């Protein structure tokens, strides 16, 4: 088991569990963009993303390097394991484009020099950082330099956006 029994009890209690076809909404604290948030057990206590945890429980392993947890229901708070699947970063942005959710126009951090990351990428990168991917792995996925990812990890850039999703700097590399 990749999560302790104590953690699992805490986890499932925060979800509105319904039948298999319905969305199971996260009832506890959320990031601004709707993802559920839960602290890992002591001693780490770092924030995990609820739907990622739900998928990892189903898969009985951590997400593979370079992979994200994607929703079939387009409902960021949903933790129904049947609505979740493992997919690549590319699939994630394709799916968003296909569903017409991608918003254009530069906003904070995006219109700055030759930034190639968009505001939509940042929550996904945070997700990758929190699930233990290295700067090198993430940089390769987005075709940016390690230092670009390091700026996010250390919260030196996109600060307002990172604040809005409750991200604290994660200078150490922690596998949850
Ligand atoms: Zn759902």
Binned average pLDDT, 10 residues per bin, the chain of 176 residues: 92 96 95 88 86 95 86 91 89 68 44 58 85 85 87 89 80 49
* Cα angle 101, 17, 125; round to 5: 40
- Tell me the C-alpha distance between 58 and 54, whole Å: 6
What residues are neighbours of ligand 1 (ion), with CB under 5 Å? Answer: 23, 73, 75, 78, 80, 83
Q: Give me ligand 1 centre to Cα 78, in Å.
A: 5
φ/ψ (deg, to 5) at 28: -95, -155
* Domains of the chain with CATH codes: 5-164 (3.90.75.20)
Q: Give me ligand 1 centre to Cα 71, in Å.
A: 7
Provide the 3-class DSSP secondary structure of residue 39: strand
Q: What is the per-residue pLDDT for 172?
A: 53
Q: What is the per-residue pLDDT for 120?
A: 76
118 to each of 23, 86, 111, how far by Cα in Å? 28, 22, 9
């Amino acid at each position: 088991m990749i999560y302790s029994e104590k953690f699992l009890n805490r986890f499932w209690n925060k979800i509105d569990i319904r039948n298999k076809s319905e969305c199971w909404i996260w009832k506890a604290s959320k990031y601004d963009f709707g993802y559920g948030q839960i602290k890992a057990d002591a001693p780490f206590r770092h924030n995990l993303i609820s739907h990622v945890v739900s998928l990892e429980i189903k898969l009985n392993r951590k997400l593979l390097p370079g992979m994200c947890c994607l929703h079939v229901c387009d409902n960021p708070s949903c933790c129904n394991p049947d609505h979740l699947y493992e997919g690549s970063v590319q699939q994630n942005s394709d799916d968003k484009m296909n569903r017409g959710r991608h918003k254009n126009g530069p906003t904070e951090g995006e219109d700055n020099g030759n930034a190639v990351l968009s505001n939509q990428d940042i929550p996904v990168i945070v997700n990758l950082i929190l699930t233990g991917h290295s700067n090198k792995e993430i940089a390769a996925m987005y075709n940016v330099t390690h230092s670009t990812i390091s700026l996010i990890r250390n919260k030196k850039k996109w600060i307002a956006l990172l604040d809005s999703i409750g991200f604290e700097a994660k200078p150490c590399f922690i596998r949850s």
